[in-house]
Amino acid sequence: MKESLHGVVAAQLRQRIRSGSLKVGELLPSEAELCEEFAASRTPVRQALATLREEGLISGGQGRRSVVLDAVPSQPFESLLSFTTRARLTGHSPGQRLQEIALRRPQAAVAAALEVDAEALVVQLLRLRLLDGRPAMLERMTYTEAVGRPLLGADLDAGSIYALLTENGVELAAARHTFDAVSADEVDAQLLDVEVGAPLLRERRLTRDAQGVPVEWSEDRYRPDVANVTVTNTRSVRSAQL
Amino acid sequence: MKESLHGVVAAQLRQRIRSGSLKVGELLPSEAELCEEFAASRTPVRQALATLREEGLISGGQGRRSVVLDAVPSQPFESLLSFTTRARLTGHSPGQRLQEIALRRPQAAVAAALEVDAEALVVQLLRLRLLDGRPAMLERMTYTEAVGRPLLGADLDAGSIYALLTENGVELAAARHTFDAVSADEVDAQLLDVEVGAPLLRERRLTRDAQGVPVEWSEDRYRPDVANVTVTNTRSVRSAQL
DNA sequence: GGTCCATACTTGTCCTTACAAGATGCCGAT
DNA sequence: ATCGGCATCTTGTAAGGACAAGTATGGACC
């Protein structure tokens, strides 16, 4: 896969920021200087800067040189989807234990969210996520039948669902996450090893493919002392990481 | 303030999507058609499309026409900052009651987050936020002295802090939000009108200005039955030409 | 009927040029 | 010494041209 020029510039700058060669608070080279350095026109240079801005790494503003805001990029898309990626980025070792996988008819609310008929079949998973061996999060995921079928035969304790879906031609493109807090019920308490009634961070997520068709609905519950969710937004965009 | 061409195109398309003139799942006009319609070159058209893509409204992909993914944009920067904006967008009437404003020396953790000396003075606010007259959220905000001074004299139950800071030349540029869940303590319980121990959604936020200097630290607690937080993220094929 | 392929369409990348608009610093006038 | 104002640097916006690369579509062929 040939890398685009703006991709190369972005990667280079990211690397300089991560390595400390460009420190937080420091001014970036001007666009003109970057053009010369990479023998590029302003177009790819500006594209690269826009990318870093989206990642929350640098600031911007008319007439003002950009400033390094942060050293760690908040990975864009996957990071809010893949628990595994998030964990690795923060230096923890992720684990998982599938509790249940089923093909069944969904509750009304879930069917509505996925925009399928209440009579349609869906694939539902209940999975416990671990961080450094300790229970961290409980996932209740629902997939439309066509999307979820390949999951039924797979070894879900081994690979990532995200990767599995991609292999099967499902292209996750956009997700909407809603956060609130709930009390642990008995199932939560037992699996997450907390008291009944303990506060848990709840994330409800609807993921769509590139055509805008809903493919995944998930309700996740986090132990707040073990895992939390971080979102960064810049003036223009938002992205996220754990 | 003169609106840029790409801003006009983006606003137009956004309006069409919101009004249903472009339905979810439908194909957008091709770039060439948009160029003709707005008598523009591809540059501003592509910029507008990139903006909508960032807002999660449309998809994208080489060789493929864009598809409308969602009808409501996930608001950009202000929405994750301004409770008032968020409330209005969802059709609720926001309110607020300032409980306390003080100039004092910060706790060590807060001083560290704001990167100020523990001996330095900061401005701290405790404010209750209401939705349709009901307690919804409790804010504990801390500002560096220089930034917070103008707040001491102002009528904080009337205007928005965000607007007040902007008027005073403070330009909020990037924010990092961390979400988890906590149990309500006595103060929370009394002000938010819940039981002690009830689960609350906690948001901790560090906001920086365009130079990357931390200016605001806040710890907010939400009643989960009244308010929650929604984030959208998109797999942006790394933006368009700018 | 189904498969394969050429072709047209559409978006991605990149260059060049030009001007507008905000930021900054220097210098002269007061 | 202070204050404006001007020159200059920087980024934002926009046009227009060119080619690359992925997608979709229809027709020829089996």
Tell me which chain B residue has its CA closest to the CA of residue A7: B238
Give A237's pLDDT tier (boundaries 50, 70, 90): very low
Look at residue B237 in the predicted model and tell me its pLDDT: 44
CA B131 to chain centre: 17
Q: Taking 80 as the threshold, does the pLDDT of residue B89 lie above it? A: no
Q: A39-74, pLDDT tens digit by residue?
A: 999 999 999 999 888 777 888 788 889 888 776 655
pLDDT band for B240, please (50, 70, 90 cuts).
Answer: very low
* Selection from A116, A129, A208, A114 nearest residue A165 by Cα: A208
Distance CA A239, CA A230 (A): 9
Residue B242, pLDDT score: 43
CA B84 to C1' D2, in angstroms, rounded, equals 43
Cβ distance A179 to B67 less than 8 Å, yes or no, reads no
**What was the pLDDT predicted at B40?**
94
pLDDT at A241: 39
Give the model's confidence band at A5: pLDDT under 50 very low, under 70 low, under 90 confident, else very high.
very high
Share of chain B above pLDDT 90, in %: 37
B220 touches B203 (CB < 8 A): yes
How many beta carbons lie within 10 A of that of residue B123, not counting itself? 22
> How many Cβ contacts (< 8 angstroms) between chains A and B?
192
**Mean per-residue pLDDT, A230-241:** 54
Percentage of the residues of chain A whose pLDDT score is greater than 90: 37
Nucleotide nearest the Cα atom of B65 (by C1')? C10
Mean pLDDT of chain A: 83
pLDDT class of A85 with cuts at 50, 70, 90 = low
B96 and chain A in contact, CB less than 8 A? no
Instruction: Mark the nucleotides of strand D covered by protein, meaning any atom under 7 Å from a CB.
Output: 9-18, 20-24
Amino acid at B132: D
Which residues share a beta bridge with B217?
Answer: B142, B206
DSSP string, A132-144: TTEEEEEEEEEEE
Question: Residue A220 pLDDT more than 80?
Answer: yes
Output the pLDDT for position B223.
92
Instruction: Work out the average pLDDT over A12-20.
Output: 89
Tell me the average pLDDT across B183-205: 94
Does A99 touch chain B if contact means CB atoms closer than 8 Å? no
**What is the distance between the alpha carbons of residues B94 and B78, in angstroms, rounded to a whole number?**
15
Question: Residue A71's pLDDT is what?
Answer: 67
Q: Is A77 on the interface with B (CB under 8 A)?
A: yes
Does A201 lie at the interface with B, CB-CB under 8 angstroms?
A: yes
Q: Percent of chain A at pLDDT above 70?
A: 86
| Cβ-nearest to B232 among A176, A201, A236 | A176
pLDDT confidence of A80, banded at 50, 70, 90? low
Cα–Cα distance between B152 and B137 in angstroms, integer?
Answer: 22
Q: Can you give the pLDDT at residue A174?
A: 75
Confidence of residue B234 (pLDDT cuts 50, 70, 90): low
Residues of chain B neighbouring A196 (CB-CB closer than 8 A): none
| Residue A140 scores a pLDDT above 80 | yes
Cα separations in angstroms, B23 against A111, B14, B30, B39? 21, 11, 16, 24
Q: What's the rounded Cα separation, in Å, for the pair B52 and B74? A: 10
User: Does residue A47 approach strand C to less than 7 Å at its CB?
Assistant: yes
Name the band, by pLDDT with cuts 50, 70 and 90, for residue B74. low
- List alpha helices for chain A, DSSP H: 5-19, 31-38, 42-54, 83-89, 108-114, 145-153, 161-167, 186-192
Please name the residue whose C-alpha is nearest to the C1' of nucleotide D20.
B62
**CA-wise closest residue to A49 among A37, A31, A72, A32:** A31
Q: A154 to chain B, minimum CA–CA distance in Å?
A: 26
Question: Is A147 strand, coil or helix?
Answer: helix
Which nucleotides of strand C lie under 7 Å from a protein CB?
A: 9-18, 20-24
pLDDT digits (tens, 9 = 90+) for B144-153: 888 888 888 7
CA–C1' nearest nucleotide, residue A60: D11
The per-residue pLDDT for range A112-136, each reduced to its tens digit, is: 888 787 778 899 999 999 988 899 9
Average pLDDT over residues B219-240: 71
The whole-angstrom separation of Cα B8 and Cα B228 is 31
Mean pLDDT, residues A19-40 taken together: 90
The C-alpha of B100 sits at a distance from chain A's nearest C-alpha, in angstroms, of: 26
More confident residue, B26 or B85: B26
Indicate if the pLDDT at residue B33 is higher than 80. yes
Whether B196 has its CB under 8 Å from any CB of chain A: the answer is no
CB proximity B36–strand C (7 Å threshold): no
| pLDDT value of position A240 | 40
Query: What is residue B224's predicted lDDT score, i.e. its pLDDT?
Result: 87
- In this prediction, residues A156-171 reach a mean pLDDT of 76
Is the Cβ of A208 closer than 8 Å to some Cβ of chain B?
A: yes
What residues 5-64 of chain A have any CB closer than 8 A to a CB of chain B?
A: 6-7, 10, 24-25, 43, 46-47, 50-51, 54, 56, 59, 61, 64
